[in-house]
């Protein structure tokens, strides 16, 4: 019997963003052990909150505060897990004015930091309210040790806890599917095989997709036949036009495919399983812990990534990963070529799956949450 009541406050899909998806995943995961009530702070549409005008935002968050108060009064939670805490000044003032007062002082609050730039704690103008925030919140959950250490000057170690992201079951292939992938790939001769290179992220320039595109023409010079598949939603028409021009200028029209945003999770799972290497040379300013990297690891897909945000602690150089300069197509091409070598790929792929199972599987992440929530009132 589930004996503890947990309220989760956060943004649920839509839209499909890392934070929205993780909030839903965490709610589903914790429901296995706890009585979970969700207070959705999203707009309920494809529009993110920042697309609303100021008056509509105020109305929205007043309504959210009212729903939080009602949930607390009705369910008497043992803890509130707050997935939508802001790392920016305006969002912080919203949190102080609406979310925390709605929870009340007696309920432990555990705040999950999704942003790689949780800088408000170091803000001098906000120091009075950030000190209040730090005192009121029982634990801050960071996605990696790297992100936790960034806040060490402002939060004592007993306030900081590390629990990584996990991924949905639809994107976690079973052992048989992984073995089939390893067996299929190992029987092929490198020069006769069309290698599949995969990029999955919102199509934002700082995610590094253009550097990947510019790395591709040099691969055939090293005997690598390839198809590069890009999955993600465009943020602007100008970015899309630049991408299309680059493909034409580099004569890559036959080798590059952009699939848009895939809502069909089974289709996305097949893309990861079919991929030989995953590439994300990101320098996105608020990057924290990209779920797409975890999804690639689950599918035994070696990764090429930048040393940015949590990535240096997510994967191991020389095993399942190669680190690159996100602004250097030459660096990216070299890393892709290295991982695709027949004598390297199989070992790297096995390391990728092992890394997932040991650090990011739902079972591992749920245990960490159970340990934390089991002593939330200590």
Vertex 266 angle, CA 363 and 292, to 5°:
60
- Which domains, from first to last, does the chain contain? 5-166+362-373 (3.40.50.2000), 169-359 (3.40.50.2000)
Q: What is the pTM assigned to this prediction?
A: 0.93
State the alpha helices, DSSP H only, in the chain: 18-30, 54-75, 89-94, 100-103, 127-136, 145-150, 175-186, 209-215, 237-249, 265-274, 291-298, 311-314, 329-340, 342-359, 362-373
* Alpha carbon distance, N-terminus to C-terminus of the chain: 22
Sign, CA dihedral 151-154-155-157, equals positive
Per-residue pLDDT of the chain (378 residues; tens, 9 = 90+): 677 999 999 999 887 778 888 999 999 999 999 999 999 998 876 666 666 777 888 888 889 999 999 999 999 999 999 998 988 888 888 888 888 899 988 899 999 998 888 877 888 888 888 888 999 999 999 999 999 999 999 999 999 999 999 999 999 999 999 999 998 766 555 456 899 999 999 999 999 999 999 999 999 988 889 999 999 999 999 999 999 999 999 999 999 999 999 989 999 999 999 999 999 999 999 999 999 999 999 999 999 999 999 999 999 999 999 999 999 999 999 999 999 998 999 999 999 999 999 999 999 999 999 999 987 666
Name the CA dihedral angle for 200, 202, 205, 207, rounded to a multiple of 10 degrees. Answer: -50
> What does the alpha-carbon distance between residue 87 and residue 90 come to, in Å, rounded to a whole number?
9
Neighbours of 263 (CB within 10 A): 10
For 62-95, b where at least 16 C-beta lie within 10 A, e where not — what string? Answer: eebbeebeebbeeeebbbbbbbbbbbbeebbebb
């Amino acid at each position: 019997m589930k004996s503890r009541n947990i309220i989760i406050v956060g943004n649920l899909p839509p839209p499909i963003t890392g934070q929205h998806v993780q909030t839903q995943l965490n709610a589903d995961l914790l429901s296995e052990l706890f009585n979970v009530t969700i207070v959705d702070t999203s707009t309920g549409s494809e529009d993110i909150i920042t697309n609303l005008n100021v008056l509509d935002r105020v109305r929205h968050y007043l309504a959210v505060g009212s729903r939080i108060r009602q949930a607390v009064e009705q369910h008497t939670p043992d803890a509130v897990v707050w997935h939508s805490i802001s790392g920016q000044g305006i969002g912080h003032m919203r949190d102080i004015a609406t979310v925390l007062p709605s929870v009340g002082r007696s309920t432990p609050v555990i705040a999950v930091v999704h942003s790689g730039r949780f800088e408000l704690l170091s803000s001098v103008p906000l120091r009075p309210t950030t000190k209040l925030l730090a005192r009121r919140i029982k634990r801050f959950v960071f996605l990696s040790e790297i992100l936790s250490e960034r806040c060490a000057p402002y939060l004592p170690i007993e306030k900081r806890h590390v629990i990584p992201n996990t991924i949905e079951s639809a994107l976690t292939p079973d052992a048989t599917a992984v073995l089939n992938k390893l067996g299929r790939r190992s029987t092929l001769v490198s020069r006769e095989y069309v290698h599949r290179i995969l990029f999955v992220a919102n199509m934002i320039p700082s995610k590094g997709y253009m550097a990947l595109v510019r790395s591709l023409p040099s691969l055939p010079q090293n005997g690598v036949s390839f198809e590069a598949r890009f999955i993600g939603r465009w943020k602007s028409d100008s970015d899309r036009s630049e991408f299309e021009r680059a493909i034409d200028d580099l004569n890559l029209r036959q080798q590059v495919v952009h699939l848009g945003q895939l809502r069909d999770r089974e289709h996305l799972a097949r893309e990861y399983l079919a991929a030989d290497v995953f590439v994300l040379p990101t320098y996105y300013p608020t990057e924290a812990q990209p779920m797409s990297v975890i999804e690639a690891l689950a599918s035994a897909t070696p990764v090429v990534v930048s040393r940015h945000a949590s990535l240096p602690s997510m994967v191991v150089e020389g095993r399942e990963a190669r680190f690159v300069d996100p602004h250097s197509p030459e660096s990216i091409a070299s890393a892709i070529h290295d991982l695709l070598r027949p004598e390297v790929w199989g070992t790297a792929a096995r390391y990728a799956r092992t890394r997932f199972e040991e650090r990011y599987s739902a079972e591992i992440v749920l245990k960490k949450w159970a340990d934390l929530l089991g002593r939330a009132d200590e």
